[in-house]
Chains A and B, each alone.
Chain A
């Protein structure tokens, strides 16, 4: 069983398009995240979300929006894609207040290429 799964694994699209990346976790976690990893491997948190609070990194353009139909899913929707959006996007989940079990579990990533 895959703990955190993302689809699709690869996504190639044209500038100006709107796309979504889906994420699901089966760990019973209450917090989910989206990270962006650029070509230099730098990991930047974009959002963290639980059933109480959405925390947005202020540097993330409002073209990016997280959508959570339930606790096990956090999808990432991107409007008007730009060349600079090309990156690997990782979904992750963790248990808030989990004490020693607070680590985040990551999906395998979605490599987005905007042409």
Chain B
């Protein structure tokens, strides 16, 4: 079974500040891990993914995440927040080759001008 826990349902940062969104996973098999972003009234868009290759994964819009097996974490970061980053962010996990994708509860990112 797989699951993810996102710490912090709301995160606020100032424009230009570091963005850090936390995700911890649980998986009985080697996991595939994903970060998705949802803008208001839209569907989910993939930001980046970890599929057992490099542990530091770079995604779109300047985001990156690092897979840390020892900490069972896959935190999302961006060095400098932009107003357009304000959205809901979801961490998700699946077992490799599995047909299910399980989401965390989401973190709403607010960027303060």
* Chain A residues with a Cβ under 8 A of chain B: 4, 31, 33, 35, 40-43, 45, 48, 50, 53, 55, 90, 92, 94, 96-97, 99-100, 102-109
A99 touches B42 (CB 8 A): no
Residue total for B at the interface (Cβ-Cβ under 8 A): 26
Chain B residues near A102 (CB-CB < 8 A): 32, 49, 51, 94, 96-97
5 tightest Cβ-Cβ pairs between the two chains A and B: A43-B103, A106-B43, A100-B51, A106-B44, A108-B43
Neighbour of A96 across the interface among B32, B36, B99, B103, CB < 8 A: B99
Bound Cα distance A97, B99 (Å) = 9
| Chain A positions within 8 Å of B44 at CB level | 90, 92, 106
Given contacts A43-B90, A90-B44, A100-B51, contact A48 B99 (CB under 8 A): yes
